[in-house]
């Protein structure tokens, strides 16, 4: 099993959620997050003072899936979330040792 963590632009929340449900993803966690990458934010003026805004709003999708689905879902996320511009986001993939469904006690793939 693998955990896919994708950090994308906020405007991609609904299209990506719909695409993942259409791909029969059984569950996901979505969080509103802030961060910065290569773009390091932007400058704005507030009451005549220049302010550097370096924490940019993003949306984080987290999925735990079978190993066989990782490439398919990464390709789907890239195709759906890409604008071709700086700040499209990143995808991180982590190994998952075990999953336990709290309600039933099921473990492993059955708990996903």
Which structural domain range is residue 43 located in?
A: 2-111
| CATH number, residue 76 | 3.30.70.120
Count: domains in the chain: 1
Are 32 and 59 a contacting pair, CB within 8 Å?
A: yes
11-40 pLDDT tens trace: 999 999 999 999 999 899 999 999 887 766
What pLDDT shows up at residue 39?
66
- Average pLDDT value over all residues in the chain: 92
Give the residue from 1, 8, 51, 55 showing the smallest Cα distance to 30: 8
Give tens-digit pLDDT for 42-63. 677 878 887 777 788 999 999 9
| DSSP, res 85 | S
Q: pTM for the whole thing?
A: 0.85
């Amino acid at each position: 099993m693998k955990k896919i963590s994708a950090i994308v632009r906020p405007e991609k929340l609904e299209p990506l959620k719909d695409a993942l449900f259409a791909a029969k993803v059984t569950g996901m966690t979505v969080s509103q997050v802030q961060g910065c990458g290569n773009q390091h934010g932007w400058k704005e003026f507030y009451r005549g003072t220049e302010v550097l805004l370096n924490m940019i709003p993003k949306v984080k999708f987290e999925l735990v899936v079978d190993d066989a689905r990782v490439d398919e879902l990464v390709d789907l996320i890239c195709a759906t979330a890409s604008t071709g511009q700086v700040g499209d986001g990143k995808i991180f993939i982590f190994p998952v040792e075990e999953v336990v469904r709290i309600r039933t006690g099921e473990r492993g793939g059955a708990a996903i």
